[in-house]
């Protein structure tokens, strides 16, 4: 009898140690499709790809599919369907794909919202260079032709054809003022959650879209959204979108939250701090916001060497004055819509604000942890009022600062997008 019980217990050990696959979530972004496996615990995995048809096969060690997990209708982005089955004491997952991909995978430890996760980012293989995250793209090397020999120069006759003439700069073209609008969080990173379940990533996207519409309706202004849907984008990726668009100003929209006490409410505005956060409250917020890159599996600081960090700090100093002016104007206009949690512009080391080439501000519109603030944030009219107040602050700022206009060459090729110098010109 004891032998039977011992054998029974030994048979139960692998089952007890098996990690459950509790959910599979898909996020379709502009650069890649993200597949998130929610697991009961940590484990290892390996994968390989197959063609004709295109598939990616993932073997998760010591795992099993949770009872009741429904995958039949799961399809988004390049993922057509998801299938599972037991394999060598673990779980095999097959992703049927619409095209070839270059997959990247990593695991994440539990946080306040999710448990253990296995993440796959599927980048289109036929467009791999454009699909890589910002700063991961290979540098373009341009080799200049050697100068001609002196004898060759003397022998060359000038080309006087009209199409060969050097383009003459035209009158300064009135470049639109470009506003980069960043809806905080998104996709795998939901941000704060209200008492009734309202998610920060959803409310910030609604406000960002409303603000973008108002900006585009304003003559001489143009809006650029860092994200247009519910997908994750790394913090550096957000500023890269703004920089590629040659934005003149960057605003990141968020909704605040505090575990206790819940009576704290109102709006606040942050600009980057040269030496870090200016208060313990600001430090905590900065840590929460900067953790988004870890939630997304990207270690922001590991991407920069010491020299780049020093250069970034030096460059950032040039826009701090303008950022403070922008922040104070945003605070003033927000105060007409909602009470202010902080009446002065705050400073914190938000990574998303560390752009050296454009004034930047992070707006905490209200507190999702406060019942009244959450109720307001869920209302369409209040979102409209917030967007209008932000536009008023932006226009007030550009009443003092104007982007420097550039000469336009009618026949000259357009310069490739890239980091731009500070383009601020103070009105006198």
The residue written with tokens 């430890």 in the block is 109
DSSP code for 358: S
The answer on pLDDT for 70 being more than 70 is yes
What the block records as the tokens of 292 is 């988004």
Cis peptide before 369 (omega within 30 of 0): no
Strands (E), 215-256: 221-225, 249-256
| List of residues 6+ apart from 200 with CB closer than 8 A | 184, 185, 190, 191, 192, 193, 254, 255, 257, 368
Round to whole Å and give the CA distance between 28 and 143.
38
The pLDDT of 247-257, averaged and rounded, is 94
| Range in 148-152, 232-236, 314-318 the model is least confident about | 148-152
Reported as a pLDDT band with limits 50, 70 and 90, residue 132 is: very low
Give the model confidence (pLDDT) of 1-16 as tens digits. Answer: 555 444 445 444 444 5
Percent of all residues in the chain with a pLDDT value above 70, rounded to a whole number: 67
| Range in 45-49, 186-190, 378-382 the model is least confident about | 186-190
pLDDT at position 156 is 35
Round to whole Å and give the CA distance between 289 and 352.
9
pLDDT at position 53 is 93
Give the model confidence (pLDDT) of 258-272 as tens digits. Answer: 877 678 999 999 998
The pLDDT of 39-54, averaged and rounded, is 92
This prediction has a pTM of 0.68
3-state helix, strand, coil in the chain (%, to 5): 30, 25, 40
Domains of the chain plus CATH, in order, are: 18-125 (2.60.40.3500), 177-403 (3.40.630.40)
Round to whole Å and give the CA distance between 360 and 424.
13
Round to whole Å and give the CA distance between 421 and 314.
13
**Is the model more confident about 61 or about 402?**
61
Highest mean pLDDT among 15-24, 80-89, 419-428: 80-89
The answer on pLDDT for 360 being more than 80 is yes
Give the model confidence (pLDDT) of 361-404 as tens digits. Answer: 999 999 999 999 999 999 999 999 999 999 999 999 998 876 65
List phi, psi (to 5°) of 356.
-80, -5
The answer on pLDDT for 120 being more than 90 is yes
Give the model confidence (pLDDT) of 293-351 as tens digits. Answer: 544 444 434 444 454 455 445 555 667 888 999 999 999 999 999 999 988 999 888 87
**Is the model more confident about 130 or about 327?**
327
Total Cβ atoms within 10 A of residue 283? 15
Exposure letters 392-402 (e unless 16+ CB within 10 A, then b): bbbbbbbeebe
The pLDDT of 91-117, averaged and rounded, is 89
């Amino acid at each position: 009898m004891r032998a039977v019980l011992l054998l029974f217990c030994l048979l139960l050990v692998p089952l007890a140690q098996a990690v459950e696959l509790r959910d599979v979530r898909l996020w379709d972004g502009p650069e890649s499709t993200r597949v998130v496996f929610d697991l009961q615990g940590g484990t290892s995995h390996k994968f390989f790809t197959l063609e004709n048809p295109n598939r990616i096969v993932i073997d998760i060690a010591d795992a099993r599919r949770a009872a009741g997990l429904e995958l039949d209708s799961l399809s988004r982005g390049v993922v057509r369907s998801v299938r599972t089955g037991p394999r060598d004491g673990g779980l095999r997952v097959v992703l049927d794909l619409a095209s070839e991909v270059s997959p990247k995978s990593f695991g994440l430890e539990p946080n306040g919202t999710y448990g253990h996760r296995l993440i796959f980012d599927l980048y289109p293989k036929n467009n791999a260079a454009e699909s890589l995250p910002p700063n991961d793209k290979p540098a373009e090397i341009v080799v200049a032709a050697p100068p001609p020999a002196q004898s060759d120069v003397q022998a060359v006759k000038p080309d006087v054809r009209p199409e060969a003439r050097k383009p003459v700069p035209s009158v300064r073209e009135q470049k639109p003022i470009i506003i980069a609008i960043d809806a905080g969080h998104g996709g795998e990173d939901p941000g704060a959650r209200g008492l009734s379940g309202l998610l920060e990533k959803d409310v910030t996207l609604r406000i960002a879209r409303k603000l973008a519409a108002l900006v585009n309706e304003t003559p001489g202004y143009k809006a650029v959204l860092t994200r247009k849907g519910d997908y994750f984008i790394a913090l550096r990726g957000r500023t890269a979108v703004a920089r590629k668009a040659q934005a003149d100003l960057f605003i990141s929209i968020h909704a605040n939250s505090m575990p206790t006490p819940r009576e704290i409410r109102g709006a606040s505005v942050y600009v980057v701090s040269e030496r870090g956060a200016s208060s313990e409250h600001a430090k905590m917020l900065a840590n929460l916001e900067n953790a988004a890159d870890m939630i997304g599996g990207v270690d922001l600081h590991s991407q920069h060497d010491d020299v780049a960090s020093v250069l970034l700090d030096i460059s950032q100093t040039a826009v701090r004055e303008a950022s403070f002016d922008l922040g104070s104007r945003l605070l003033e206009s927000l105060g007409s819509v909602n009470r202010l949690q902080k009446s002065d512009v705050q400073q914190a080391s938000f990574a998303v604000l560390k752009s050296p080439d454009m004034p930047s501000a992070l707006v905490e519109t209200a507190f999702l942890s406060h019942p009244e603030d959450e109720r307001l944030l869920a209302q369409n009219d209040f979102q409209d009022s917030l967007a209008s107040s932000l536009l008023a602050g932006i226009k007030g700022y550009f009443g003092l600062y104007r982007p420097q206009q550039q000469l336009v060459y009618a026949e000259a090729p357009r310069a490739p997008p890239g980091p731009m110098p500070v383009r601020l010109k103070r009105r006198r």
